[in-house]
Structure 1
Amino acid sequence: MRGLLKMTVSAVAHTFGHVPYRCLSGRPPAPLGGRILTNPKDIFHHNMWDHVQWSPEEMEKARQKAEENSREQIPLEEQVRYDRDANKYWDRFYDMHQNKFFKNRQWLFTEFPELLPQGCDTSRTPEGQEASVPACPELRKTLHSRTDSQQGDSPFPSHDVLRETQQHNAFPGQHASFRILEVGCGVGNSVFPIINTIRGSDAFLYCFDFSSRAIQLVREHPDYDPTVCHAFVHDICDDVAVFPFPQGSLDVIAVVFVLSSIHPERIQRVVNRLAGYLKHGGIILFRDYGRYDLAQLRFKKGQCLSENFYTRQDGTCVYFFMKDEIHRLFTNAGLEEVQNLEDRRIQVNRGKKVVMHRVWMQSKYRKPLSTPGC
């Protein structure tokens, strides 16, 4: 196992031939990252190196390890609880870790500049500035009054309330000209960098998670601002559950380390549903675990649910993607490829002198400006 997770310095020398580049529509190619290891002797000078190429031998060892830890699968009758009780496992996770487990994703705007409306400056410090996106006091009053009377102490509106407000053409962020949705926001590690950047612009952020504990932590955060953000509880796998905004109303949907937690058989339906909420010309930004990432190779026998889909010790689940299946998922939903790449890196523990392979998938898919045949 240790041999799979480590790379010798001599092996690193073979990993840097062709350097992959990001393909951005309408822009010249830009590298994934600027930290390239040109001299293997420098490997322990930094914590991360970009643009890593694996040798055929390393790829085969990783494939064999994944095959080995997938050989013994959890019986189907036991797998049901991981799907049925997924929100309970994530509630327990957030109860235990609060907002201390993940760091804020400050890399968001470098990799996904599409998250921000044109002219929004990521270098400014917007805290304390007044948002220009007007709130909707009538809607807020309706939601709070109906929520208090119908849901007891719950701070979140029911689907009936959301459906009623949509029927009256009132919804949070309706006055915004640029609308962003973050799927599976957790405790807000993407939410708050976005809030603090769009505050003062004509943008509005929606974010949801199916863990009520996670949304509670988001709404209790001192940077949470209901004039620019609406956080709500929602299960993306529930086809009947209602979103608090109409179809075709979103400019950007961020799906970052979310689809991997969903059973592979459900992912296509989820992507299809999300695509329906994009405006024509709107874009889905995707980042998640890639096949043979360190996290996959670390799983022990008996943790596999199905091919490349595992359960962690805490009951949460994770799937590891390939580039071609990501392309199928999004194009089957009627979207066009802007970017689809494997982000392979070397992660270094300089204290322990350990070198590890990380693999992430990063993609951007756009809804066509017009429907074919129209």
Structure 2
Amino acid sequence: MHKLQRLSVAKLATVFLKLSVRLKSSTGRPSVPLGARLLTNPDDIFKHNMWDHVEWTEEDRENARRQAAENSSVRLPLTEQGKLDREASQYWDKFYEMHQDKFFKDRKWLFLEFPELLPPGAESQDADTCRSNQPAESPLQGTSSTDAGTRRHRRNTGDVHFQEAGQDAGRGEKEAAEQTSAFPGQHASFRIFEAGCGVGNSVFPILKSIKNTDSFLYCCDFSPRAIQMVKDHPDYDDSVCHAFVHDICEETASFPFPPQSLDVVLAVFVLSAIHPDRLQGVANRLSAYLKPGGIFLFRDRGRYDLSQLRFKKGRCLSENFYTCGDGTCVYFFTKEEVHDLFSKAGLEEIQNLEDRRLQVNRRQKVVMRRVWMQGKFRKPYPPSSS
């Protein structure tokens, strides 16, 4: 099944009465995370473009498993798979040559879901506009505005320890930096690194919000074209940002900052583009650059998202890993895989969410099930010597 399913009003009533809000205390998340538009009346299904916190029935899960198994039954030949892996940066370079900076919109939702990106005491400059005109990848598309009280609540629940820990780590890290060769952003008190930044859809909202703070942003991509577009952007400022070409899969390539020097590592829709066999090594290497108390922020594709189920036979490379028509690749994660990935990298889980949404085409009366993963993982402090 690759066509979008049109549901009758009667069937909608049956299906959506089973939907519920998933608020699990074990995630440490605030009471209304990732948006707040809940479908309580099935007659309202086509009133909005997106509904939040959708619980799947066992029938939904079985249908998704069956569709994924079907489209994975014919796989791309190994000879072609090797080329996709070897020439991955070239495929992404062509992607950016074709789409330039028009494919994604700036991710202004970042600061609602990831307030850890802001240094202590800073306010997001995009808080009032972050919910409008978001791309399909956005966790906030079609949701209603979040008030300032909710934003404050998010910063004050689960984030206080991180900020205090970051300040403590900063004191020790400053002494270590004095013994390290000079590097961009060396004297900043708060450092962020975005892996796989593309053309800067996260970079420029972050730069706008850390302006006039003692912060520094690093960003890399293995597409030279993408990095050049970041540097050519009128808002790029090399006094607070260092963009560089880098393949995070390359085991021997060095970063322009020392180990244990970062407060935040950000990976948004990046790790899914990497071959599953390389993911653990990437997570291990990136985590090594976090300070004790630093945090890894992650958002990516979830298992059985609509985009996975719509792949045609012959596009599958390995289980839950596919290639698109332009040669780029995508993997679809489960919550358990995300937990294992970062736990094995030595990080502690703060948040690990399976974000299920209903995306609605109101004109065509089509309902689509979307799934994203979101997580926050902290680097622990070393055991006390006392």
TM range (shorter): 0.7 to 0.9
- Alpha-carbon distance between aligned partners in 1 of 2:264 and 2:338, rounded to the nearest angstrom: 18
Q: Name which of 219, 233, 246 aligns with 1:207.
A: 219
Structure 1 unaligned residues grouped into runs of 5+: 126-165
Quick one: distance in 1 between partners of 2:347 and 2:14?
39
Q: Which residue in 2 is equivalent to 1:97?
A: 99
Contact 2:126/2:205 (CA < 8 Å) preserved in 1? no
Runs ≥4 residues deviating over 6 A: none
1:298 aligns with 2:301: no
Give the whole-Å Cα distance in 1 for the aligned partners of 2:126 and 2:374: 26
Deviations 1:303-335 (A, max 9, x none): 000000000000000000011111111001110
Q: 1:1-374 residue pairs with structure 2 within 5 A?
A: 1=1, 5=5, 8-21=11-24, 29-123=31-125, 169-371=181-383
The question of whether the paired residues in 2 share the 8 Å contact of 1:185 and 1:191 is answered with: yes
Amino acid at match of 2:12: V
**TM-score (normalised: structure 2):** 0.82
Q: How many Å separate the matches in 2 of 1:232 and 1:122? A: 25
For 1:69-92, what per-residue CA distance to the aligned partner results, in whole angstroms no more than 9, with x for missing partners? 111111212210000000110000
- Could you say what secondary structure the match of 2:282 adopts? helix
Aligned length: 333
Q: Deviations over 1:171-193 (max 9, x none)?
A: 11111000000010000000000
CA contact (8 A) 1:22 1:341 kept: no
Give the Å deviation of 1:13: 1.9
Residue 143 (structure 1) aligns with: none
Match of 2:206, SS? helix
Identity %: 63
SS of match in other structure, 1:58: helix
* One-letter identity of the residue aligned with 2:67: K
> Following the alignment from structure 1 to structure 2, what is the Cα–Cα distance between the partners of residues 92 and 255?
21
Aligned in 2, Cα 1:13/1:3: closer, same or farther, shift over 3 Å? Answer: farther
Q: Once the 2 structures are TM-superposed, how far is the Cα of residue 373 of structure 1 from its aligned partner?
A: 7.8
Q: Distance in 1 between matches of 2:385 and 2:94?
A: 49
Judging changes above 3 Å, is the alpha-carbon distance between structure 1 residues 371 and 210 closer, same or farther for their aligned structure 2 residues?
Answer: farther
Amino acid at match of 1:173: G
Change (3 A) 1:2 1:335: same
Q: Structure 2: how far apart are the matches of 1:189 and 1:22?
A: 32
Name the aligned partner's letter for residue 290 of structure 1.
Answer: G
Change (3 A) 1:292 1:94: same
Structure 1 residue 24, shift from structure 2 partner: 6.6
